[in-house]
Amino acid sequence: MTTLTSAARRRRPLSRPRPLNWGRIAAWAALVVAILVTVGPFLWMLRTALSNNHALATQSSNLLPADFTWGAFARVFGLQSQAEAQAEGGSGASISFWQYLLNSLIVSTMITVSQVFFSSLAAYAFARLRWRGRDKVFAVFLGTLLVPTIFTALPNFLLIKNLGLLNTYLGIALPSMLMTPFAVFFLRQFFLGMSREVEEAAMLDGARHGRIFFQVVLPNAVAPLATLCLLTFIAAWNDYFWPLLVGNAPAVRVLTVGLGVFKSQSPQGAPDWSGLMAATLVSALPILLLFIAFGKKIVNSIGFSGIK
């Protein structure tokens, strides 16, 4: 490779400028199309959210917001009176995304903090401790990845109901708080790759596993723990099916469930598109902000978690 390219480099100044490489142009064109197809809908979401719902129909192909207004956002946060909302094409039904935003934040944080912590404990036992049956237990843990969500969802719904936890934050969060196979797997992989030297030195000094875990292993695993926290938080934030089953009451409704309700309240004939897009934007924004801040971490984690 090196010899080839250096030879080519030496030859290039002598020859004429390279003819257009059509393959390469086509490849770039395909990439640009892919990016436009990806980003375009998000811009359209923003454009719609900033439009007056009544004006959407008449200016449907104008690329700028139709009769620019913040009204849709005010409507979504319950800041418009019923008359104002209806004047701008809303349904007038009371809806408060502040509450949903708060609920999503509480539930996702509960799940993230406790799932990552308990999973890291288990991952340490699978990666570092020697005990009979370890690999078998781990295989069984991993096997649960194949169990479809709906299969456990029905009995889990009954369990949460019997515990009296329907329509509580704990009821929504509990099944994901103690472990997920993915989190255990992800951290175990990382712990296996960590150098044992420091841990062994600490062990020789007579430190117990508890101390080694908290004072040596966790501080050295800040990066993967942060990545896992991000992935867990995003997954919890985006979940729809389970919160729909156990948390449909307005007081605990998370954003995804709230969006479904908002959509179904919208009149069939003339839906409140700007309100709906403002609501989706509000729901997506925290994740998009996280992504802008930590995008590289998330992108790089995909190869790791998926393949190795």
Q: Choose the binding region for other proteins from 79-87, 132-140, 188-196, 221-229 (rule: CB under 8 A).
A: 132-140
What does DSSP assign to residue 198?
H
Reference 227, options 168, 293, 179, 134; nearest CA is 293
Residue closer to other proteins, measured from CB, 74 or 230: 230
- Structural tokens at position 23: 């393959």
Residue 96: how many other CB atoms lie within 10 Å: 15
Contact with other proteins (CB under 8 A): which of 6, 8, 12, 39? Answer: 39
- Structural tokens at position 206: 């007579």
Contact with other proteins (CB under 8 A): which of 8, 170, 192, 302? Answer: 302
- Structural tokens at position 212: 């080694």
Contact with other proteins (CB under 8 A): which of 105, 137, 194, 207? Answer: 137
Interface with other proteins in residues 138-177 (CB under 8 A): 140-141, 144, 146-152, 154-156, 158-159, 161, 174-175, 177
Instruction: State the minimum distance, in angstroms, from the CB of residue 81 to other proteins.
Output: 25
Instruction: State the minimum distance, in angstroms, from the CB of residue 26 to other proteins.
Output: 10
- Structural tokens at position 227: 């990545």
Residue closer to other proteins, measured from CB, 57 or 102: 57
Residue closer to other proteins, measured from CB, 34 or 251: 34
Interface with other proteins in residues 235-254 (CB under 8 A): 237-241, 244-245
Reference 70, options 297, 274, 208, 308; nearest CA is 274
Instruction: State the minimum distance, in angstroms, from the CB of residue 82 to other proteins.
Output: 23
Q: Choose the binding region for other proteins from 12-20, 43-51, 91-99, 218-226 (rule: CB under 8 A).
A: 43-51
Cα 106 to Cα 55, 102, 240, 251: the distances in Å are 37, 6, 15, 12
Which residues, including other chains, have CB under 8 Å from residue 71's CB and lie 6 or more apart? 52, 80, 84, 88, 274
Residue closer to other proteins, measured from CB, 31 or 251: 31
Interface with other proteins in residues 58-117 (CB under 8 A): 60-61
According to the binding rule CB under 8 A, does residue 260 interact with other proteins?
yes
Residue whose structure tokens are 């009954």: 158
What does DSSP assign to residue 253?
-
According to the binding rule CB under 8 A, does residue 277 interact with other proteins?
yes
Contact with other proteins (CB under 8 A): which of 7, 8, 35, 102? Answer: 35
Contact 59/66 with Cβ under 8 angstroms?
Answer: yes
Residue closer to other proteins, measured from CB, 86 or 238: 238
Give the side-chain half-sphere CA count within 13 A for 35.
6
Instruction: State the minimum distance, in angstroms, from the CB of residue 10 to other proteins.
Output: 18
Q: Would you tell me the crossing angle of helices 181-193 and 222-238 to the nearest 10 degrees?
A: 170
Cα 104 to Cα 41, 192, 236: the distances in Å are 24, 34, 8
Reference 113, options 159, 173, 186, 189; nearest CA is 173
Residue closer to other proteins, measured from CB, 81 or 140: 140
According to the binding rule CB under 8 A, does residue 54 interact with other proteins?
no
Instruction: State the minimum distance, in angstroms, from the CB of residue 259 to other proteins.
Output: 5
- Structural tokens at position 51: 């439009």
Q: Choose the binding region for other proteins from 10-18, 31-39, 76-84, 214-222 (rule: CB under 8 A).
A: 31-39
Instruction: State the minimum distance, in angstroms, from the CB of residue 175 to other proteins.
Output: 4
